[in-house]
Structure 1
Amino acid sequence: MKKHLLFFLVLFAVYNSFSQSEIVEIWDVVPNSKTTEEQEVITLDPIKKISLVKTPTLEIYLPSKKNRRDKSVIIFPGGGYSSLAYDWEGSDIAKWFNSKGITAFILKYRLPNPELQITQHNAPLQDAQRAIRWVRLNAEKWNISPNKIGIIGFSAGGHLAATLGTQYNTPNNFKEQAVDTISARPNFMALIYPVITMQDNYTHKGSRNKLLGKNPTILLKDTYSNELHVTQNTPPTFLVHSADDSAVPIENSLNFYKALKDNSINVEMHLYPYGKHGYSLALNKGYLQKWPNLLYDWLDNLSLDKTAEKQPKK
C-alpha cells in the first residue's frame, strides 16, 4: 500500500513539475480593499466561473521553448463584472495563444463589490494596470519582449481591456512600489464582443450596475465610456462583434472603431451577422470560428516597433 502511495505521490510531483501553468499573486498588499469574511466562489457547471475575487492573480501559460515567440498577451475573461468565465474566456484562450507560440497570462481581477472594496469602480483597472506592469517587469524571465505585450478582453473583460488601453496612465491613489512606475500601456489590444460605453443608449446595464452602481453620476458614466477617451496613444486595436448581439449592442464596437479611426489608430474590425454574445473561440459556429485566425494574421503583420507611445510636441 505504501509503495502504491509513494508511486502516485512521485507521479503527481512529476506531473506538476511539467504543469502547463503557474499562478502568481500580483500584489503584496491589495490596495482599495476591505477586510471581510467573504470567500472566493468557484463553480464548474457548465463552465468554470469565479466570483468574489479578493486576491488578484496571473496564471501563466507558456508555449514550448522551441515554439516560443517574443509576443505575449494578458487575457481578461468576461462575466458582466459579477463573475469571471475563467476557462471559457480564459484558459481556453491561453492555450490557443500557446499554439501560436505566444505566451499568455490570465488575469483573475477583482470584481467590483462595495463589500470588498473601498471604491468599487477603481478595483478592476488597478489590477489591470498592475498586471501589465508585473509582466513588463518580468519579461526577461519569460523570454518575451517588454515592448510586445498586448491584452485581450471578452464582454465586460473587453470593457476592462478598453479602459486600460485608453486610460493606462490613470494615477495611483495608493502607496506605490517600484513596479507601479512602469508603463501600463499595452502594445496592442483585442476586444471581443466588448462592452465599451457606459452611456444609457448602448451600454450593458448589468455590467454598468456592477461597476458603477445602479444610479451612477454623469461624470462616472463619462469616465468609463471608453469611446470618449481614445487618443493618438491608444494602442492598435482588433475588434470582433456580432450584429445579433442583444446583450452588448454592436454599436459599442462601431463607435469605438470610429473613435480609433478619427485618431489615426491602427484598427481592424470584423462584424458578423450572427453569433449573439459570449461565443469564446466560436467552435462549431461556421465561419465565425475563423475570428481567432484573423486575429493571429493581424498580430503577425503588426509592426509593434511603430506602436510606441507618442510624446507630445514641446
Structure 2
Amino acid sequence: MKTIGKTTLIFTLMTIAMSAQDTIMPLWPKAIPNQIESEEKEVVEHTDDGITWVTNVQTPTLEVYLPAPKHANGQAVLIFPGGGYHGLAYDWEGTDIAKALTLKGVAGIVVKYRLPGSKSITKGKNVVPLQDTQRAIRLVRSKAAEWGIAPGKIGIMGFSAGGHLASSLGTHYKNKVYQWQDAADDLSARPDFMALIYPVITLGHPSTHTGSRASLLGGNPTQEEVDYLSNEKHVDGETPPTFLLHAMDDKAVPVENSTLFFAALRQHQVPATMHVYPSGGHGFSMALNDERLKNWMDLLFDWLANLD
C-alpha cells in the first residue's frame, strides 16, 4: 500500500508540472525606458556547475508558469534571480523555483530584468532594474483574471542581488521611475508579500555585497545614492509582510543584511518571519542536496498558506 501511495503521489506531481503553462512575454509594449538599440546581444551560457547564466539582457520579459486550474490557489510570485547585478542565475534561482511553486498551486513568474552594466542603458543605470520590476508586477496584475490569479495575492521573491531588487520594489513601489505606457501602469506596483532569500539589502559598508554595489552604483557613489538603495532605511508601516532566509556562514552576503531588514520591519510593526541557518553558505537555491536546508521551501509554503 505504501508503494502504491508513493507512486500515485509522484504521478500526481508530474501531472501538475506537465500542466503548468509556460508563456514568455515582453515587459514593455513601447520603447524600453532608459535604453537605446545597440549591437550588444544577450548572452546565455551554461556554467561548469550546470547553471544557465544570462548577461546583457536587452529585452526584459516575464516567463509565466501557471498551475493546473484545479490546483491553483490564486497566489502568484514574481521571481528575481540573483547574480550580483552582473548576470542572472536564470534557472537555478528562477525557472526551477517557478516550477516548484506551481506544485503547490502558486503561479511562478520569472522576471528577466535588465542589468546596469549593459551598454544599451543610456542613463539611470541604478534605477533600470527597478523600472522593470515595477512594470512586471503591474503587468501581472493586469493579467490576473486571464491567468486565474487573485489581484491581492501577488508577491515577489528574490535571491541575493535579486533579493535586493525585490526589497527595492517593496520599499520604493510608490516612486515614479518611468513614464506611463498603457493601462497596466495605472495599477499598483506594491507587492502583497515578499520572500527574500539570502538577500542583499544594504549598500552601506561593512555589510554590503561589494559586487552588487559596484554593478549598481559604480565605484564611487555618493552617500545619497547609497542611502537611496539601502533598503533597510526605507521600510515603513506599508511595507509588505516579509519572509527572510539566510545562512550565518554566508561569506558573500553577510547575514546582517537580513537582520537589518528584519529589525526595520519589526520597528514598523510589519509582519515578518526570519529563518537563519547556522550553515549553508550562499547561493544554495532549493538546497536539495543539503540535509539541513533542503526543506526550507516547506517553511515558505507554510508561511504563504497563512498570510492574512
Would you say the 8 A contact 2:133–2:169 is kept in 1?
yes
TM alignment of 1:146-295, pairs within 5 A: 146-295=151-300
8 A Cα contact 2:54 2:88, kept in partner: yes
Code of the residue aligned with 1:37 in structure 2: it is E
What does the per-residue CA deviation read over 1:157-212, in whole Å, with 9 as the maximum and x for residues that have no partner? Answer: 00000000011111134344322221000000000000000002110000000001
Q: TM-score under structure 2 normalisation?
A: 0.91
1:112-134 CA distances to partner (integer Å, 9 max, x unpaired)? 12622122111100000000000
Q: Which residue of 2 aligns with 1:61?
A: 65
The match for 1:30 is 32
Quick one: which amino acid aligns to residue 25 of structure 1? P
How far did 1:104 drift? 1.0
- Kindly report the root-mean-square deviation, in angstroms, between the aligned alpha carbons of the 2 structures: 1.3
- Structure-2 residue corresponding to 1:21: 22
**SS of residue in 2 equivalent to 1:80:** coil
Distance 2:238 2:188 in 1: 12
Per-residue CA deviation, residues 106-152 of structure 1 (Å, 9 max, x unaligned), is 00000112622122111100000000000001100001101000000
Corresponding residue to 2:43 among 36, 41, 51:
41
**Which residue of structure 1 lines up, in the alignment, with residue 3 of structure 2?**
none
Q: Distance in 2 between matches of 1:175 and 1:35?
A: 20
Q: Distance in 1 between matches of 2:117 and 2:283?
A: 23
**Unmatched tracts of structure 2, length 5 or more:** 1-17
Give the aligned partner of residue 104 of structure 2: 100
Q: Which runs of 4+ in 1 moved over 2 A?
A: 17-20, 172-178
Instruction: Report the secondary structure of 2:71's partner residue.
Output: coil
Letter in 2 for 1:280: S
Please identify the structure whose Cα radius of gyration is greater: 1
Aligned to 2:77: 73
Secondary structure at 1:66 match in 2: helix
CA distance 1:20–1:137, change in 2 (3 Å): closer
- Once the two structures are superposed, what CA deviation does each residue of 1:3-49 show, in whole Å capped at 9, x if it has no partner? xxxxxxxxxxxxxx977411000102211102211000000232101
Q: How far has the Cα of 1:73 moved from its partner?
A: 0.5
Q: Deviations over 1:258-289 (max 9, x none)?
A: 00000000000000000000000011211211
Distance 2:20 2:71 in 1: 17
1:69 to partner: Cα distance: 1.2
Pair 1:83 & 2:77 matched: no
2:130–2:177 contact (8 Å) kept in structure 1: no
Alpha-carbon distance between aligned partners in 1 of 2:260 and 2:279, rounded to the nearest angstrom: 19
TM-score by length of 1: 0.89
User: Which runs of 5 or more residues in structure 1 are unaligned?
Assistant: 1-16, 304-314
Identity %: 52
